[in-house]
Amino acid sequence: MDLNKISSKRIVKEFYDDICLLSAILTLKNIFKDFNDLKPILRNLLVAETKDCIYIIINYIALAKKDLKTVENILEEVGGKEKMMTLTEKWRIEGLQQGIEEGIKKQLKDDIKEAIEIKFGEVMEDINTKIESIKSVEVLKNIYRTVIKVSTLEELKNYINNL
C-alpha cells in the first residue's frame, strides 16, 4: 500500500483510537519529507505519554534520516527533552555493547591466528581470509578450540572450509 496515495486526514480518521499506530503510519508516510512534518506526530505522542511508541518512532526516524542531531533538536523543541536523554543513553549503551562485541571478535580472530602460527608455523592466506570473514563469536570460539584439538594443518583447513 502506498501511504502517499492516502490523505493524512483519512489516516487520522481510520486510526484515531490508536495513537501509537496512527503515529507510526503517519511517520512512515512522512519520513522522506521535511523534519517539520514529523513534529506534530512527536508532539501528540509526548502528550499521550506513549513512551514505548515514542522510542520506536524516534529510533526509526533517526535510522531513516541518519541525522541524530536534528532528531534530538526536534524532540527537544516539541517538549521531549527528558525522553531524548533516555533515548540517547539507550543508543550510547547499544553502541558500547556493539563495540564490546566487535572487540571480542577481533581478539578471538587474533588469538586464533596466533595459535595457528604457534602450532603450525604460519597462517595461510585462505585461512586468514576465512577467519576475518566470520561474524559470530560462537563460531570463532569453536575455531579456536579446533586449532587446539587438531593435529595437522590439513584437519584445520577442512574444518574451517566446512563452516
pLDDT in tens, 98-113: 888 888 999 999 999 9
Question: How much is the pTM?
Answer: 0.49
For residue 95, the one-letter residue type is G
Structural domain boundaries, residue 101? 94-161
Residue 89 forms part of a structural domain? no
Indicate the pLDDT class of residue 32, thresholds 50, 70 and 90.
confident
- Examine the domain organization and report whether 69 and 109 are in the same domain: no
Distance CA 142, CA 150 (A): 12
- Examine the domain organization and report whether 62 and 112 are in the same domain: no
Question: Cβ(134)–Cβ(163) under 8 Å?
Answer: yes
Structural domains counted in the chain: 2
Burial label for 110, CB within 10 Å (0-12, 13-18, 19+), is exposed
Residue 64 forms part of a structural domain? yes
- Examine the domain organization and report whether 156 and 105 are in the same domain: yes
For residue 69, the one-letter residue type is K
For residue 135, the one-letter residue type is K
Residue 88 forms part of a structural domain? no
- Examine the domain organization and report whether 36 and 75 are in the same domain: yes
pLDDT greater than 60 at residue 18:
yes
- Output the nine-digit C-alpha cell for 157: 583447513
- Examine the domain organization and report whether 99 and 138 are in the same domain: yes
pLDDT score at 34: 74
